[in-house]
A and B are shown apart, each in its own frame.
Chain A
Amino acid sequence: MEDGPSVIQQGFLCPFCMTDLGSYIALANHVESAHPEDADTPAFEQIRGFIDKAKRSFKRFEPGIDIENLREKVGNIATSASAGNILQSESLQRSVEPLRKTRSKSREREVKPTKVKPIEIIHVRPEIGVKRSHTDYFLRCREASVNDIAVRTNTLIIRMDKLINEAPQEHSKRKDFERFVVPWSEDSESSACPGCNQKFSLTRRRHHCRLCGKVLCEKCSRFLSFLTARKLTNPALAAAMTEEKQNASTQKAEVRSLDKLADLAQRTGGHLRGLIGGSKSNDGSEDAAEHLRVCVPCLTLLERREQQMEARNPPAMVSLYERLVGLLSEMSKLTPSYSRMALSINNGEAIYTLQAAEELRRRIAERQREVDVLSKTIENEGGEGLPFREQQLRKNIRFVSVQTLHNFISNMPNLPSSEKYAELAEEHRNKVAKQVEEARLQAQRAVSNIKIPSVPIVETKPSSSFMGRVVEDGWTPDFSPITNPFAEEEDRQHPLQEQRGILRGYLSQAAAVGRLEEVEILERNLRDLEAEMRQLGLNFD
């Protein structure tokens, strides 16, 4: 900024609209009439905050200099520059005093909602009704029944362990051993198969489940391979097998029925048998030896246990989806941050650099592309072979992603070219200067109620519910002051200028990671600081 305007900026500035009112009385009148508002609003707090901050910044960066001295000095310069105007922080503070008593409107009120959708007027905020949880009761009930099942399954597994590992080699002795481990129920006890309710006869012979000892018919018998049985009794083996299976099989092994697994293991050859450790020899009649006859209820219990043991490998889609959601929630932070920057730049303000905005835009665009690619992959990954619902699920994920993208993109204003930006910045500077000049003229004409439009702060509402998933965490900017230790004393920046540089650095960092709250605070601080600098007659470009 040129020297001229910055000198004009000094004087009795209205803390709300930055208008120079020329004299204390004019300012007090102006504040009372133009900003009639509750003094306890954030705006008032802001002003207090910024004065305090300015003081602190003085103290922090120039501990050697007496602040009051400096002010007086600067004040004197100001006095000579613009006749009759005494610039002092005290004057500002005094101008704030009446605010305590008057009711005035915050800056936000001046921001005209450009096009706000009519919101339904809710007089009483609707609250959720009565809820009642039965979860505890449910879990108590479940525990009892689940324990029962666990005990039953464990009994089966202990029996199974004995049957396959301690059974005698000779075929003839095996039956006796099996009956010794699991007492078989008497044939006379049941005249019909409990599975199919058919009467036993000469053609429908009685068999026994080797695990629970109950009677059943041939048709209702299931056969459990020793391999599966070992897997259930020996978790280490199970892990090895799962690994083996993954290595060996190239085909999609979606259905993990017990039989298939056994099948597969046989195909993978002798390697597995080696793992088993030869505890069981091959005695020709493999079919008879390598299977246990079991009933359906027992098999169900065992299958469930097997499923629990198998580490569930989530399909690739799940990790893709997680990544997609991560990207979307990141974008829901970055996009409003970008809109803010772009708006400020399109107004010609110098709070952000065009470069930083362009950089952020590039980053967002990158993520947009990635979201597009990811969601497309999710949609098309499985192809036509997938079951109907799975396809529908993927289509819907794609649909939501595309919709969210559309929403984000339509909320992103364009950036000016660098030439255009220079023009805009010039325009903005002139406008501010003109406003200040006008204000001064008007103040001189003792017209006290002037208002200049302040830059609207447009709140961009996060449009996506992914916003809800953002976990609040701390954020700190990297501190990397650019100082030249070899600079001559007179080349050194004024502490306020230095502070301004640091603030701007923080601001662009905060904007780049989408910390909207911090951006707001920093923007406010920067404005305050610049206002203070104007008063001190420091140029900051």
Chain B
Amino acid sequence: MNILATARLYIGEMVTQAGPQMKVLLMDKETTGIVSCAFAQSEMMHKEVYLFERIDNAAPRENIKHLKCIVFVRPTAENIQLLCRELRSPKYAQYYIFFSNIANKSDIKLLAEADEEETVREVHEFFIDAVPLSKHLLSIGLHHPYDASLRLSTTAFLHAKQTIISLLLAFKKAPTVCYQKSNGDCEKLADEVTQVMRREEALFRTCKEDTLLLVIDRSEDCATPLLNQWTYEAMVHELLGLQNNRVTLDGQSLVLSELQDEFYEKNVNANFGEIGQSIKQLMEQFQSKAQIHKNVESIADMKSFVEEYPQFKKMSGTVSKHVSIVGELSRLVAANNLLEVSELEQSIVVDGDHTTCLDRVRNHLVNKQTTVLNATRLVLLYALRFEQHQNNDIDGVVALLRSKEPAAASLVRVLLRFGGASRRKNDLFGSQSAVEMTKRFIKGLKGVENVYTQHTPYLTQIIESIARGRFNENVYPKHTASQYSARVDNIIVFVIGGATYAELAQVRAANERRNQAGGPSVLLATTHMLNAQSFIDQLREMGGTTR
């Protein structure tokens, strides 16, 4: 299951259907994100799509009657209205309309009645309704999906449901639907998805049943988004912030795409130390080529240089991009004392020795070098981990944090209400199951390889248990209308409330294992991508306290 490849096929098919001649692509906010992650702009231009427009742009577009127009929008009421207006006074010669999801018959009729000049040639549903950020990651890009009652807002729920439906149709899957029992949203979402599958029987007729869809909520694992991360992609998002595979550095927007950037593709899951090595190699490679650049005296030199020119040009861009990103990352690591903070985070969530952890958290809280964000995440992690510890001193550390973060008490309260022990029914820190205890004991004997990366997201356990057929049906039951398939070849996990790049790294690893040793293919879908900052902001919003 490669959502990026599927998205590319869908978009390629749109261009093919529109045929030759100059074309313009008319999109909405969401589909713009989809197209920009699936194709580079120049790639689209080589397909004769020379202009890109937003349908919701208030400024009037000029008439260009010698253009064909590919319309790729979500079938929302607003878009239908805008499209009707567009068709009443068409700006372009022909229209090819593609909806990213199931469209209402009545909306199609509205459009037909608006098309008085008969400019529309095709109307289709192509099911790619959220942003394919990576081969195995689909994100709606919907920030702050929860309301004050810690439930999904109505619009967010609808959007999540539509995304799941389109995702299933994109892969032609009619899955067994499982959900996190302890969460009402998950159950409702599983229920409604099953209903749509039954209602749209014609669409799902060709779909295979070799897939398991699991709907879980972020509250299952609040620890992962609070931790500092050390793989390249996760670090970039944690420290600099990724937005649809773009990062802004010194006011410059840089694209980090596994499709177009070979170096990034190779190192996306590499840890910070390894990236340093790879960057060095890349530099050396570049320098040896740049050397040629300097002495292009002989004609042969010049010729070979010119022959290599396109690659060279591309490479010089790649080098400078990654050097500046990694440079900024290491500056931040040093300035914010991240190694020490990260080590403490790991011992809180993995070792869990209360006394030492409490001491060290206190030390960090009074340390001036500790940033507000890092202080907050330490307190939140401490509260989450030792919520039920008899001698915990949550009030004490909150009091220490208050000087840096006035909303400290509220944040801790919301976090525990949202993802505390009483709400989550799982064994997040592995203190209850004997298996997990033994595992940790053996790990302790062997010694840890890397103190900064001991923790693995809870999602990994879930995926492994499904793959091994040891899936806990009491915690994650299947929807009553759903059938168990004989064999689970694909797992789709939809995380309400945001996923992290650390979890994506695990999904990527699972898929790589599949390539070598077999096992199910895994895809992660979510409402949006989290880092510690956005997760804390989300808590703040849920608590109703504004900054």
A residues adjacent to B (C-beta < 8 A): 117-118, 121-123, 126-135, 137-142, 145-146, 149, 304, 312, 314-315, 317-318, 321, 325, 387-390, 392-393, 396-397, 399-400, 403-404, 406-407, 410, 414, 464-465, 469
A146 cross-chain contacts in B, Cβ below 8 A: 115-116, 118
B124 contacts A131, C-beta separation under 8 Å: yes
A321–B20 CA distance with the chains assembled, in angstroms? 11
Q: Which of B48, B64, B103, B310 meets A407, CB within 8 Å?
A: B310
A145 contacts B127, C-beta separation under 8 Å: no
A404 contacts B170, C-beta separation under 8 Å: no
B169 contacts A130, C-beta separation under 8 Å: yes
A317 cross-chain contacts in B, Cβ below 8 A: 66
Q: How many whole Å from B65's CB to the nearest CB in chain A? A: 7
Q: How many whole Å from B64's CB to the nearest CB in chain A? A: 6
A312 with B9: in contact, given A137-B105, A406-B310 (CB under 8 Å)?
no
Q: How many whole Å from B79's CB to the nearest CB in chain A? A: 15
A393 contacts B62, C-beta separation under 8 Å: no
Q: How large is the interface on B (under 10, 10 to 19, 20 to 34, 35 or more residues)?
A: 35 or more
Q: How many whole Å from B375's CB to the nearest CB in chain A? A: 42
A138 contacts B9, C-beta separation under 8 Å: no
B515 contacts A123, C-beta separation under 8 Å: yes
B2 contacts A399, C-beta separation under 8 Å: no
A389 with B515: in contact, given A130-B203, A396-B51 (CB under 8 Å)?
no
Q: Which of B50, B65, B103, B117 meets A134, CB within 8 Å?
A: B103
B206 CB within 8 Å of chain A: yes
B125 cross-chain contacts in A, Cβ below 8 A: 131-134
A118–B306 CA distance with the chains assembled, in angstroms? 23
Q: Which are the 4 A-B pairs with shortest beta-carbon distances?
A: A141-B112, A129-B170, A126-B5, A142-B112
Interface centre among A130, A325, A469 (most CB of B within 10 A): A130
Q: Which of B2, B47, B206, B306 meets A126, CB within 8 Å?
A: B2
Q: Which of A122, A145, A396 meets B116, CB within 8 Å?
A: A145
Residue of B nearest to A317 (CB): B66
A117 cross-chain contacts in B, Cβ below 8 A: 262
A130–B9 CA distance with the chains assembled, in angstroms? 11
B6 contacts A128, C-beta separation under 8 Å: yes
Q: How many whole Å from B46's CB to the nearest CB in chain A? A: 5
Residue of A nearest to B10 (CB): A128
Can you list 26 A-B pairs, Cβ within 8 angstroms, ordered by A?
Answer: A122-B5, A127-B172, A129-B126, A129-B127, A130-B127, A130-B169, A133-B125, A135-B124, A137-B109, A138-B108, A138-B111, A138-B123, A139-B112, A141-B109, A315-B66, A321-B22, A325-B48, A387-B62, A393-B51, A396-B51, A397-B22, A403-B42, A410-B309, A410-B310, A464-B46, A469-B20
A130 contacts B172, C-beta separation under 8 Å: yes
Q: How many whole Å from A86's CB to the nearest CB in chain B? A: 49
Q: How many whole Å from B18's CB to the nearest CB in chain A? A: 13
Residue of A nearest to B111 (CB): A138
B122 contacts A133, C-beta separation under 8 Å: yes
A512–B127 CA distance with the chains assembled, in angstroms? 45
Interface centre among A122, A304, A393 (most CB of B within 10 A): A393
A318 contacts B6, C-beta separation under 8 Å: no
B303 CB within 8 Å of chain A: yes
A290–B515 CA distance with the chains assembled, in angstroms? 80
Residue of B nearest to A139 (CB): B112
A393 cross-chain contacts in B, Cβ below 8 A: 22, 50-51, 64, 67
A149–B67 CA distance with the chains assembled, in angstroms? 26
Q: How many whole Å from A411's CB to the nearest CB in chain B? A: 9
B10 contacts A396, C-beta separation under 8 Å: no
Residue of B nearest to A128 (CB): B9
B307 CB within 8 Å of chain A: yes
Q: How many whole Å from A217's CB to the nearest CB in chain B? A: 25
A403 cross-chain contacts in B, Cβ below 8 A: 42, 46
Residue of B nearest to A394 (CB): B50
A122–B111 CA distance with the chains assembled, in angstroms? 40
A464 cross-chain contacts in B, Cβ below 8 A: 46
A340–B141 CA distance with the chains assembled, in angstroms? 48
Residue of A nearest to B41 (CB): A396
B394 cross-chain contacts in A, Cβ below 8 A: none
Taken residue by residue from 157 to 174, chain B's Cβ proximity to chain A (1 for < 8 Å, 0 otherwise) reads as: 000000000000111100
A142 with B120: in contact, given A117-B262, A317-B66, A388-B62 (CB under 8 Å)?
yes
A396 with B66: in contact, given A130-B203, A135-B124 (CB under 8 Å)?
no
